[in-house]
């Protein structure tokens, strides 16, 4: 029973740690499936987190904070789009530039506004997304096995967690079952086919990066107004890159990417739980080693275990009409 309890709590933590990864990975999928490399996820997440925390602090309403985060990341996506799609610049350079810019800019504006060393003030309860108790959760709490699973694992998360998990089938449906998705996938594979079909390649790609912006904005807001209670300098700590890794690991498809995110989230949750635990035969696990695990695993998985991940064919290439 002890182990079962730990397992449930671990999975519960996994859901919470994987939520920002899922949203960001889906953001990456939208952008890259349309042919635009999006290394800027890290910086956009940071920008979203900062805007959400700041606006939620001033308005006392996390939803307005969320909208501000989304507005910020759409803006950043449009900048990235302008550089990559309109100006046909180097997409990796543009992405990295946004990451560096946002790392500095969030701290700068944070210090200017609040003078707390780049942090934003702690948010009170009303300014954050609160856990939602699903109907009947209290009632079944004491039922063996099912009770804990429903009460601990499924119930009691904030709304963004549910949105993230709902976003996966939604993204799949949009990608594979709608006209928009068909064109989006086509423009990332062969923009010439889209152009000759009489559809604007540029407009399609802008629409895709805007979708990407909406999703990554939610992921940023989650960090500072749902999981945390304020913005901290560089609080994303590489989550944007991990999300990109999950996207590649998931071969640019929503459901496989979800599982990759859950795996990375699980490792993260396990790392926290394993701190100071003495394992039989091994002894105390060094904290640093456990914390490094997700990254080590990412490298190993990306290096050899994912098989042939074929990226969208036109990924990274600006569209120029050929003579």
Partner 1 sequence: MHQMHGTGETGAVQPAIELRGIDKRFGAVHANKEIDLKVDKGTIHGIVGENGAGKSTLMSILYGFYQADGGTIHVDGKLCDIKGSEDAIAAGIGMVHQHFMLVETFSVLENVILGVEGGAVLRDGVDKARVELERLEREYSLDIDPDAIVGDLSVGLQQRVEILKALYRGAEILILDEPTGVLTPQEADHLFRILATLKEQGKTVVLITHKLREIMAATDNVSVMRQGAMVADRKTAQTSPEELSELMVGRRVLLRLEKGEANPAATVLHVNNLCVDNAQGVRKVKNASFTVRAGEIVGIAGVSGNGQSELLEALGGIRSASEGSVLLNDQDVTPGKGVDAAELRKRGVAHVPEDRHRMAMVTGFTAKEAAILGYEDDPAYNKGILLDWNAISKATANMMSEFDVRPDDPDLKAANFSGGNQQKLVLAREIMRDPELLLVGQPTRGVDIGAIEFIHKRIVAMRDAGKAVLLVSVELDEIMSLADRILVMCDGVIIGEVSAAEANERILGLMMAGVDPNQAKAAEGQA
Positions touching partner 1 (CB under 8 A) are 177-183, 185-186, 189-190, 192-199, 313, 321, 323
Nearer to partner 1, 47 or 312 (CB): 312
Contacts (Cβ under 8 Å, ≥6 apart) of 182: none
The single residue listed with the structure tokens 């990332």 is: 188
Nearer to partner 1, 128 or 183 (CB): 183
Q: Which is nearer to partner 1, 123 or 175 (CB)?
A: 175
Nearer to partner 1, 125 or 179 (CB): 179
In 3D, which of 312, 307, 253 has the Cα closest to residue 25?
Answer: 253
CA–CA dist 122, 59 (Å, integer): 13
Nearer to partner 1 among residue 8 and residue 199 (C-beta) = 199
Between 71 and 199, CB nearer to partner 1: 199
CA dist 31 to 102, 210, 215, Å?
A: 19, 8, 11
**H or E element, residue 283:** strand 283-284
Least distance in angstroms from the C-beta of 83 to partner 1: 25
Minimum CB separation of residue 59 from partner 1 in Å reads 35
Specify whether the CB–CB gap between 155 and 210 falls below 8 A: no
Instruction: Locate 127 and state its tokens.
Output: 């300014």
Closest approach of partner 1 to the CB of residue 34, in Å: 13
Is residue 278 helix, strand or coil? strand
State the nearest-atom distance from the C-beta of 317 to partner 1, in Å.
Answer: 15
Contact between residue 15 and residue 162 where contact means Cβ atoms under 8 Å apart: no
Smallest gap from Cβ 185 to partner 1, in A, equals 7
Rounded least distance, CB 29 to partner 1, Å = 15
Burial 114-133 (b: 16+ CB within 10 A, else e): beeebbbbebeeebbbeeee
Nearer to partner 1, 201 or 290 (CB): 201
CA–CA dist 22, 26 (Å, integer): 6
Q: Closest approach of Cβ 200 to partner 1, in Å?
A: 8
First and final C-alpha spacing in the chain: 70
């Amino acid at each position: 029973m002890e182990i079962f309890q730990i397992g449930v709590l671990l999975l519960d933590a996994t859901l919470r740690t994987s939520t920002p990864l899922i949203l960001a990975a889906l953001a990456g999928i939208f952008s890259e499936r349309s042919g635009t490399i999006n290394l800027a996820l890290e910086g956009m997440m940071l920008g979203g987190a900062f805007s959400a925390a700041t606006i939620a602090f001033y308005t006392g309403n996390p939803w307005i904070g969320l909208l501000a985060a989304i507005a910020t990341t759409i803006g950043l996506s449009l900048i990235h789009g302008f550089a990559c799609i309109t100006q046909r610049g180097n997409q990796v350079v543009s992405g990295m530039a946004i990451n560096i810019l946002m790392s500095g800019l969030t701290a700068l504006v944070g210090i200017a506004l609040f003078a707390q060393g780049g942090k934003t003030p702690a948010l009170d309860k009303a300014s954050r997304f609160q856990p939602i108790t699903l109907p009947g959760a209290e009632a079944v709490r004491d039922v063996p096995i099912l009770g804990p699973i429903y009460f601990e694992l499924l119930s009691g998360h904030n709304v963004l967690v549910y949105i993230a998990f709902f976003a996966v089938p939604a993204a799949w449906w949009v990608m594979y079952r709608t006209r928009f998705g068909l064109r989006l996938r086509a423009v990332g594979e062969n923009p010439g086919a889209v152009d000759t079909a009489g559809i604007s390649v540029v407009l399609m790609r802008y629409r895709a990066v805007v979708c990407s912006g909406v999703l990554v904005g939610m992921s940023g807001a989650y960090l500072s107004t749902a999981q945390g209670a304020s913005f901290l300098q560089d609080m994303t700590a590489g989550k944007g890159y991990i999300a990109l890794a999950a996207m590649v690991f998931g071969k640019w498809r929503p459901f496989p990417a979800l599982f990759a995110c859950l795996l990375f989230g699980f490792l993260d949750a396990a790392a926290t739980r394993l701190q100071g635990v003495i394992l039989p035969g091994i002894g105390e696990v060094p904290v640093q080693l456990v914390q490094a695990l997700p990254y080590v695993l990412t490298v190993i998985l990306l290096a050899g275990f994912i098989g042939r991940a074929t990226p969208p064919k036109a990924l990274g290439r600006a569209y120029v009409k050929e003579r």
